[in-house]
Amino acid sequence: MELDPLLLSRIQFAFVVCFHAIFPVFTIGLASFIAVLEALSYKTGNPLWQKLSKFWIQVFAVVFGMGVVSGIVMSFQFGTNWSNFSYATANFLGPVLSYEVVTAFFLEAAFLGVLLFGRDKVPRGVHLFAAIMVALGTFISSFWILSANSLMQTPDGLELRNGMYHVVSWADAIFTASFTYRFIHMALASFLTAALVVAGVSAWFILQKREFATNRKALSIALWMLLILAPLQVVVGDFHGLNTLKHQPMKVAAMEGNWQTAEGVPLILFAIPDQQAQTNHFELSVPKLASYILTHDWNGEVPGLNEVAPEMQPPVFIVFWSFRIMVAMGLLMVLFAVWGLLLRYKGKYQHSRSFLQGLRLMSLSPFIAVLAGWVVTESGRAPWLIYQQMTHAEGLTPSLTGGMALFTLIGYIVVYALVFSAGVYYLLKVFRGGIEKANRPHEQQEFERPKRPFSAAHTSLEEGDN
């Protein structure tokens, strides 16, 4: 069987991007949550906020490390698998990715050290400032990355000359037609991820009757965040969808499973899209609802996939069901937000076992939603690498063979499996230790601390002999 380097390269990039995406989306929201905890601690002097901050800083450190490791590897593929794309877009992507490192990564790295190790070594105001800078750094990083991705979705501000794009307007190239919607949508997704993870972990601790008062506070903040952000994300998602309909109609057609351009198009709740036959099987739909959602008119016209040749259509089955998974997770978030509000009104949100157990499961929902959303975003653009300007085939490295692509794909899977296993191991250690262990005072005396590198080994050997 002949190996297809294009297919394998797309699988490899999808795997690496999806693996990496779950870490930044958590750390962006969690960094802001930690900054809020540090601000509350600084303002009130209540040790409860500091206890929470110490615990979640440990979680942040582990997840941030996993994100850095997976993100560095991801950029290698532009040169190894997509050299034509890298060459053509170097005038834009080169500076943008460099800006991300200079303005965001260095900022995060510098102040993360103060945040992790400087609590008792710098003034409290400086420690709070470090927390704010780390949170700001995560947003700056997402700004540049989403700018680069948005250019691939809705290109603007570039001019193609002799096979290379030249920037004619940096403002248009950075702030493309879809950038604002993507950035806000991703920011809200990050906050929702942090809120649901904090809620799920706090619910687990409460069920175990560990640090009840402290975890009740964390749960309360997370539920307020969920109540505000979940409905807001639905509204932003609607605006994002309208923007996508305007600039990438075939992506929306695939999301809706709509094969024929028509008016009064139904909203398909369930179907099995058949791309070969250009139709849906076992379709269950609500009349005219898709037209109303997408055009705000019950008889509005919705584009169909028949407007382009079958080979130029996105993979409909993947896009169709990924979109529904994302929407289902979003609706569940809204449901739990309302449920939490009703329980809060009755004073029972921290005592309802069914609600707390549900929150534990819901802590996985934002990651599922983010992965499904990225699949919709990237697969829905196919076969275009740069929408309507460069296909995946045109951006592929000419000398790449199927065997080479398979070898690197297997290598990435093995390495990332090791990284993920190590990260999960340390995260579980942090969660099992809980807030109690994160706030345990250091019992080691001054004379026991090694003064020279080899002293640490010497002390360990003595402890082993004992």
Concatenated DSSP letters for 3-15?
--HHHHHHHHHHH
In this prediction, residues 40-69 reach a mean pLDDT of 92
pLDDT digits (tens, 9 = 90+) for 357-385: 999 999 999 999 999 999 999 999 999 99
Confidence of residue 465 (pLDDT cuts 50, 70, 90): very low
Tokens 């510098």 sit at which residue?
A: 110
**3-state secondary structure at position 321:** helix
In 228-365, DSSP assigns E strands to 262-263, 267-274, 279-286, 301-302
Confidence of residue 437 (pLDDT cuts 50, 70, 90): confident
For the record, the structure tokens of 365 come out as 């929902």
In this prediction, residues 52-72 reach a mean pLDDT of 90
Confidence of residue 453 (pLDDT cuts 50, 70, 90): very low
Burial class (CB in 10 A: 0-12, 13-18, 19+), 14: middle
For the record, the structure tokens of 253 come out as 């057609």
- pLDDT value of position 463: 41
pLDDT above 70 (res 459): no
For the record, the structure tokens of 281 come out as 């099987």
In this prediction, residues 112-138 reach a mean pLDDT of 93
Widest pairwise Cα distance in the chain: 82
Return d(Cα 373, Cα 153) in angstroms, integer: 14
Confidence of residue 450 (pLDDT cuts 50, 70, 90): very low
Residue 229 contacts residue 192 (beta carbons within 8 Å): yes
The amino acid that residue 397 corresponds to is T
**Closest among 370, 32, 436 to 194, alpha carbons compared:** 32
pLDDT digits (tens, 9 = 90+) for 276-321: 999 999 999 999 999 999 998 999 999 999 999 999 999 999 999 9
In this prediction, residues 183-208 reach a mean pLDDT of 96
**Closest among 93, 51, 154 to 435, alpha carbons compared:** 51
Residue 180 contacts residue 16 (beta carbons within 8 Å): no
Return d(Cα 356, Cα 390) in angstroms, integer: 49
Instruction: State the CB neighbour count (10 A cutoff) for residue 284.
Output: 11
**3-state secondary structure at position 57:** helix
Q: Extract long-range pairs of 71-75: CB within 8 Å, 24+ residues apart.
A: 71/20, 71/23, 71/24, 73/16, 73/412, 73/415, 73/416, 74/16, 74/17, 74/20
pLDDT above 80 (res 466): no
- pLDDT value of position 131: 96
Return d(Cα 190, Cα 142) in angstroms, integer: 10
- pLDDT value of position 442: 53
Return d(Cα 61, Cα 430) in angstroms, integer: 11
Residue 132 contacts residue 112 (beta carbons within 8 Å): no
- pLDDT value of position 1: 58
pLDDT digits (tens, 9 = 90+) for 223-270: 999 999 999 999 999 999 999 999 999 999 999 999 999 999 999 999
pLDDT above 80 (res 7): yes
Q: H-helix or E-strand containing 43?
A: helix 24-44
Backbone angles phi, psi at 391, to 5 degrees: -85, 165
Burial class (CB in 10 A: 0-12, 13-18, 19+), 378: buried
Tokens 């290698």 sit at which residue?
A: 76
Q: How far is CA 429 from CA 33, 202, 433, 434, in A?
A: 21, 16, 6, 8
In this prediction, residues 403-429 reach a mean pLDDT of 90
Q: Interhelix angle for 212-247 vs 47-80, to 10°?
A: 30
Return d(Cα 122, Cα 240) in angstroms, integer: 43
Confidence of residue 391 (pLDDT cuts 50, 70, 90): very high
